[in-house]
Structure 1
């Protein structure tokens, strides 16, 4: 059973504590941002509930009775322990590592290279990226947020908040050597990762016959772009992910139409959040 049931109202205890500290109803009222009459009423109500005088007037000041001295000391100890406990909780939360679930591509090509900027702005926040193609379960896995690419038609679940960051076109890409080989996109090998079903659905939208494609299955999504760079096959990637490779000439775009756009977004569990979570989510909105 809660021990709060045995206590007078917290408002009355705060009013008496402030009166004991400041020595007057008027000063206590200013400290609590209420009128001195409200403080007086709360202290009188507390005396009535306890059946003992706690204060005595001494001109404009207020002195404490022996009972008032004992209660003031107990409240000082109790409120002090509460303040210390809350401060320790906050310090622990500030030190706790921020856990972010995302895909390998987003982590390696977009977020990780820009993390020094975040740490320059927020030097006390540690960030741990957990790249995985599977969706994060916040309650089960303890992640603070996820950064995902969402296909059109996505919906926000009741337990989540989704903050879109940007839209990015899905492109078909390959190495310059493969593009110059004379093979048509239908004749080229295609590199697949763990999410091959979704990728093949994308490719099918271009009009290619996916049942006739020669597939290069790697079993790991973070190897796909590397395999494409090495000329092992064509593949799909969002423009934001392969931008650096396109600019450097390591990859070229295949002229296929019909590929979709995706929405990159921050996914947050609903409920109270640490300031560090909001800081990182806000920073992500500046880099996409």
Structure 2
């Protein structure tokens, strides 16, 4: 073991009487609160009303959690279905297992429905929310730290992450320290958040361009971080790459293409954030 390392958490669950308080759930909740707070401030700066992003979160959050869990269960279904497995475990979200791709996809569906109900333009809504989602992801990754999951290859770097023997995958029983990919992704997300804010100060970003930057910056980091991970997944080798690396490449390419198109066809920002002039006047 390296002389310097990040120690494993002593525990990830605390009990308040009969009720378990799980660090993973707390990290997810704190991330959601941060994303809504940041989105609310950005929305008001765009001319929106206080409380509208909180109302929209009632659509986005449930859709996002369901989407994240569905993606995880579908892409790792052998963990829950088959011989010796219990399908009911697919519902135990507190044990970890939220796929960001599904969470963002269905979360966006929730945002579209909520924006429609509230008579808001969807692209300004998504542009207002996207940077805060990066902060939510940065906080949420610490849930993986407490669960001792989704770490990277063995390493003896000073910032290596110690993993208890019970959480080490097959073939790594005698290795104690690994790349802290949770920390890499968390720091990358915070850096991407800062970059977007700087670009928004320089350019008038609208019509979904901030959302496209979010997708590009996140997937650029997720792609290389994914190559470090050793957690067993069913789609671990698709054409020589893990499935999530391919997802990063595809999403990055689509977002980049949209950003170029929007920069040419829709420069600047939208004139308003409401779908109807009547709501804008009110």
TM class, shorter-length: under 0.3
TM-score for the superposition, normalised by structure 2: 0.21
User: Which structure is higher in RCO with an 8 Å CA cutoff and minimum separation 6?
Assistant: 2
Which has a greater percent of helix? 2
Which has a greater percent of strand? 1
TM-score for the superposition, normalised by structure 1: 0.21
